[in-house]
Amino acid sequence: MMRVGRSAASAPSAASISASPHILVVDDDPGICTLLAKVLAKHGYRVTTARNAGEMRATLRVGVIDLVVLDVMLPGENGYELCRWLSERSPVPIIMLTAMREEPDRIVGLELGADDFIGKPFSARELVARIKAVLRRAGTQLRTVHAPPRGTLLFAGWTLDIVRRELKSPAGALVHLTSGEFDLLVAFADHPGRLLTREQLLDIARGRTAEIFDRSIDIQVSRLRRKIEDDPKEPAFIKTIRGAGYMFTPEVVAG
């Protein structure tokens, strides 16, 4: 039995030896490893670095790791292979680093079990925000093994592809959503027929990715309505519940 996984899966943060999460950084560039170790330590994380697959496995054998930051381009076994290997054996969350900022990479990574993706060059702030978001999500959902990314959600002829982060209209056209809008729609589609307060929406959507709303939920909702409602003034999908929040009314089916 591997000893990787959340330090205290049953009671996050409380029973661990140290309260600060332990991050394993796997990157073949020593400069980046050192810098990431410094930056993350500055933000209060414990950090171990590994330069390749062997070192990563060795670290996992001896230490309890809360999150792995994994570079895609590694000598020998590449990041994708390691990501698959890791996610098949352990629920430890994975954030992948890639030099290619392209969609296919992200999708492949997410399908292999990565929790998030960040393209090089990135800022420490961005990385820390994502680490927080992923840890928080891992903390709220008690996961035995990585839940495979859910495929699609269907509502009223619309198709919401969670992995590819795509929304397809009943006419079959891709509808462009910003990250925030997409997360919001997923939050709605996950809770059809339920009243969601603004705070809940913010919370759910934030937990999904590190995308922080820089606009109020109301603006995001109105922008979303403009894209998916036939008449944004008389919304059929996202109803406003006065003084309380919003409700997503269509029936949602997992595809």
Partner 1 sequence: MLGRVLRSHDTIGLRLILAMIATALLAVGLYAAISVLDGDLGRPPLLQSGFVDELTLALRLFDRLTPDERLRLAETASNATYEFHWYRELPVPLRDTKRPRTQGKGVRWLRRRVWPTLPILLIDAREIPADSPILPDDPDARTALVMAAFGLSDGSWVVLAIDRPIWGLSSGMRILIGTLLGVFSVGIITLFCVRLLSRPINRFIAAAERFGVDPGAAPIAESGPAQIKKAAHAFNAMQARIQRFVEDRTQMIAAISHDLRTYLTRLQLSAELLAGEESGLRMLEDLRQMESIMEATLAFARDDAAREKRVPIDLPSLLHSLVDGATDAGAEAAYDGPAHCILPCAPVALRRALGNLIDNAVKYGGCAMVTLAEHGSALVVRISDRGPGIPESEAERVFAPFTRMEAAERSHAGSGLGLTIARGIVRAHGGDITLLNLASGGLQVVVSLPLGGSLATEPRHSLGDRPARAAVG
Which stretches of the chain bind partner 1, using CB under 8 A? Answer: 29, 31-32, 35-36, 38-39, 42, 73, 99-101, 103-104, 120-125, 169, 171-178, 181, 214-215, 223, 226-227, 232
**Collapsing DSSP states into helix, strand and coil, what is residue 26?**
strand
Residue where the block lists tokens 């990787």: 4
Q: Whole-number minimum distance, CB 33 to partner 1, in Å?
A: 10
In the complex with partner 1, the residue whose CB is nearer, 81 or 102, is: 102
Q: Whole-number minimum distance, CB 27 to partner 1, in Å?
A: 9
Question: d(Cα 28, Cα 158) in Å, to the nearest integer?
Answer: 43
In the complex with partner 1, the residue whose CB is nearer, 90 or 98, is: 98
Q: Whole-number minimum distance, CB 103 to partner 1, in Å?
A: 6
Q: Whole-number minimum distance, CB 204 to partner 1, in Å?
A: 21
DSSP letter at 164 equals T
Question: d(Cα 213, Cα 200) in Å, to the nearest integer?
Answer: 13
The tokens for 221 are: 């909702």
In the complex with partner 1, the residue whose CB is nearer, 81 or 103, is: 103
In the complex with partner 1, the residue whose CB is nearer, 87 or 98, is: 98
CB neighbourhood size of 80 (10 A): 21
Helices then strands, each counted (H, E), the chain: 8, 13
Q: In what order do the strands lie in the sheet with 116-119?
A: 46-50, 22-26, 67-71, 94-98, 116-119
In the complex with partner 1, the residue whose CB is nearer, 60 or 71, is: 71
Q: Whole-number minimum distance, CB 74 to partner 1, in Å?
A: 12
